[in-house]
Every structure is written in C-alpha cells, then in structure tokens.
Amino acid sequence: MSKKYFGTDGIRGEVGTYPITPDFVLKLGWAIGKVFAKKGGGTILIGKDTRISGYMFESSLEAGLTSAGMDINLLGPMPTPAVAYLTRTFQAQAGIVISASHNAFQDNGIKFFAGDGTKLDDDIEFAIEKEIENELTTVDSSEIGRASRIVDASGRYIEFCKSTIPSSLSLNGLSIVLDCANGATYHIAPSVFRELGAQVSTIGTDPDGLNINYECGSTYPQRLVEKVLEEKADLGIAFDGDGDRVIMVDHKGELVDGDELIYVIARYKLGNKSKAINTNGDQGIIGTVMSNLGLEIALQDLSIPFVRSKVGDRYVMAELLNKQWLFGGESSGHIICLDSTSTGDGIVSALQVLAAMQSFNESLHDLKEGMTKFPQTMINVSISNKDGLEGNKVIEAAISKAEKELGKTGRVLLRPSGTQPVVRVMVEGENDDQVRKLATEISEVVDAEMKQHVA
C-alpha cells in the first residue's frame, strides 16, 4: 500500500501548493498529536531551518499538536541531525523538522524522527495519514498541550558534535573555510570547529529567509573553492540547508564528494585494523546504486565489504540495520556514522574526516588520492510516464551493447526519478569520452522509445 503524503523523507513540496499549506500542516500536526497521544502522550520537539516559511509552519504545527493534547518544545533554527540527537536526549516521543533540505527557499517540508532519533516506521506514517482523513477536534481546554522553548539547544548539540571524535584531537593550526548554505548550521558549525582550535572563516552564515542554498552550500561549491584558494586554507567544508549533507574542498581547490569522504572514513575506521571499531563481526560500507565504482574498488583494496542499496538515506539506513554495519552514505554527501549518531550528520561526518587526517598525518588531498574516481555521466530524459520503460527490448539492447563495450570496468544504470518525470541514464567507466558517448546514445534510444510509446 502506497502513502498519500509521505515520501522517502517526510512530506515536501512548494510552499502554498497543497499539501505544503498552513491549513494542511495544522491538520498534520493534529494528526501526529493524535497518533502519539494514543502511545501515551509526552513531548514532541520542533526544529526548523532558516527559510522564511518556517515561522508559518512552526505556528501551524504548534496549534495542531497542542490541540491534540501534546506538549511541544521549540528548538528554533537547528540542523536536522541536531533534532534527532535532542529528541533522544530529551526522551521525547518524536522530533519534527521543518525543512526542504537542499532545495531553494520556495520549497519546504516536514520530516520526522522517532524517540530514538531514527526515521519513523512505516506503520506510524500510515497511522498519521489515516488520522488526517478524520475531522479535527480539540481536546478539552484543561488537556490542551503546552509549548515551551529550549534555550540551550545549540550549546547541547555543539558539545555532542565535539564528543564524537577523540578528546585528544586538536585542530590547532588548521585553517578551515566553512560554507553553511545560509541554513541551519550557520550558528552551530563555526562554534564547533573554533572550539576545537581551528582558524575558521565563513560564507553562507547570514540567512535572511530567502537565501538558503542560493549559490552556496554543498549543492553550489564554487564559492567555497574560490575562498579556500584565496585564503590558502587547509580545506573547506560545505553543508546543505539543513545540515545533514557535507562535501569538502582540499587545499588545492579540488572537490571531495560524498564517495571520497566515505572512503576516507572507511580507511580510518575500518581499514586501519589497529584502530578499527569493529565490534560486531566483519564491518562493511553501504553505498547506493549511484556510488562511484572507484569507491567499490578502493574498498576492495582495503578488504572492506561494500554493498549497494537503492538511492536515498532511508534505504542506506535500512541496509545498515539489516547487516548490523555502522557506516554508509551517498555521493551527495549524506553520510551515516552509526558509531556516533543515529542519522546522517554533516558536522559529525566532517569531524570524522578531520580525525582521519590527524590519525594518518596526511592532508585531505593525499587521503582522497587512495580512491580513483571513475568518469561518470548522467543524463535526464524527460518522460510523461514510466509505461513502456520496463522490459523494453530496444532499450535493453542498447544497454547490453554499452555494457559489452565498457567491459568489467564500467556499468550502466537506468533509474526513473521518484520526484520528477524523468529517467536518469547513468554510465560509468574508465574513459571519459567513451562514457559520455555511450550515455548520449542510450539517452537518445530511451527518448525515442518513450515518445513512440506515448504516440
């Protein structure tokens, strides 16, 4: 059974377009409150990123939840992983984040954490959707929930981040440029790295409600590259708007994406056997079908198992729990370190990389050189629907031909988008020109076949 409102990470869309409207979010808050009231009540935390619509939806959720009899604690602007952490430490029933992650300010969304700081189970999401269909009724006036604000939330999370690395780690003498995407880490990340001794300069730390992710952050690293080179910094770190993703820039101005960061963390945590935290049998890394082939090969060289999941941190997490492994992530920079926290956390992941640099006494540039990225090209082919894609003999023949030409050191992936009317054609191999040519050829076949099917 499919869900009506919930996607892979909560509910998201354009502000003012159903269901991202004040009236729906009020009803959503009420439905959440009803579901958790049946579980015994308690407190629900609410955090948000810096987009201007967050104020509106925070008020809507507050009204809905309290009308259902739930108490709430407001955190204000706070990274998504901070809400997960604080939900656990305050022993709240659930945590709610008002954020559209790396999207522009025109979008917003609502995502959730269970009391243990992990994503909600499907059965709870189904229960919330079922409750939404009921008529909103307010509890008796004597049972209306109370709202309060946690004033030391930032300090608590800053101390937690610092606790995820060895106490002996000092960043004294290290110059770092931080890009906080004018998002939820703007008042958190600079304090974390400065308190650990780093010399920090920043961009993207002046949110105005409209500039979140705008030409800054992990999805637009050009400014960070320029700033690192201009200041001759040791490295740069970029987060997305809600702080659950991270990419980095080395001292030469070269981007270090999620796959390369996962490799560095894996080498530090699992490949360096004398320091490995392996307490649960053989540990490995969970990537996705989009993870670069170079990561898989580099991990093989370290004798570290590697398994691919579907795209999305929800699926990475599910596979980690299934295998009882601790580390995984995506090339976008969403990295999960379950030895430290319960969800993807950009600041915590960046700190693990810095700990690796100190442990090996190597620069970020030298550390990432242990992994050779394969050229990868992805082309989006517009489609009106997915009918005619699966089992299409012409498309399958084009893929088979490309795979034969690539040999064992390449691969082809066709993946319909879950959020857009497109099919993503990805080709990966050793030769950049060959990869581009094959991706173009397959895309043209897919385009022609899908148009013919519609006709």
Please give the share of the chain, as a percent, with pLDDT higher than 70: 97
pLDDT at 269 over 60: yes
102-118: average pLDDT: 96
Kindly report, residue by residue over 191-218, the tens digit of the pLDDT: 999 999 999 999 999 999 999 999 999 9
Residue 120 exposure: Cα atoms within 13 Å on the Cβ side: 26
Active site residues: 101
Q: Tell me, what's the pLDDT at 272?
A: 61
| Residue partners of 27: CB distance under 8 A and separation at least 6 | 64, 132, 136
Please give the share of the chain, as a percent, with pLDDT higher than 90: 89
| Residue partners of 442: CB distance under 8 A and separation at least 6 | 395, 398, 399, 402, 412, 414, 425, 427
Indicate the range of 178-187, 248-257, 378-387, 395-404 predicted with least confidence: 378-387
pLDDT at 368 over 60: yes
Q: Tell me, what's the pLDDT at 175?
A: 98
**Per-residue pLDDT band at 274 (split at 50, 70, 90):** very low
pLDDT at 40 over 90: no
Q: Tell me, what's the pLDDT at 277?
A: 46
Q: Kindly report the average pLDDT of the chain as a whole number.
A: 94
337-355: average pLDDT: 97
Q: Tell me if 321 sits within 8 A of 119, measured CB to CB.
A: no
**Per-residue pLDDT band at 281 (split at 50, 70, 90):** low
Indicate the range of 34-43, 69-78, 380-389 predicted with least confidence: 380-389
Q: Tell me, what's the pLDDT at 33?
A: 97
Query: How far, in Å, are 47, 51, 65, 197, 282 from residue 56 at the CA level?
Result: 13, 10, 14, 38, 48
pLDDT at 136 over 60: yes
Q: Residue 71: what are its φ and ψ, rounded to 5°?
A: -80, 150
What is the model's pTM?
A: 0.93
105-134: average pLDDT: 96
Kindly report, residue by residue over 19-28, the tens digit of the pLDDT: 999 999 999 9
Domains and CATH numbers, the chain: 11-151 (3.40.120.10), 157-368 (3.40.120.10), 376-454 (3.30.310.50)
Rounded to whole angstroms, the Cα distance separating 243 from 188 reads 10
224-236: average pLDDT: 98
Q: Tell me, what's the pLDDT at 413?
A: 95
Task: Return the H-helix or E-strand segment holding 427.
Answer: strand 422-428
| Residue partners of 229: CB distance under 8 A and separation at least 6 | 253
Indicate the range of 11-15, 142-146, 328-332, 448-452 predicted with least confidence: 448-452
Q: What is the DSSP pairing of strand 306-309 with strand 285-288?
A: parallel
Residues facing 94 on adjacent strands: 44, 114
Amino acid (1-letter code) at residue 104:
A
The end-to-end CA distance of the chain, in Å, is: 31
Q: Tell me, what's the pLDDT at 416?
A: 87
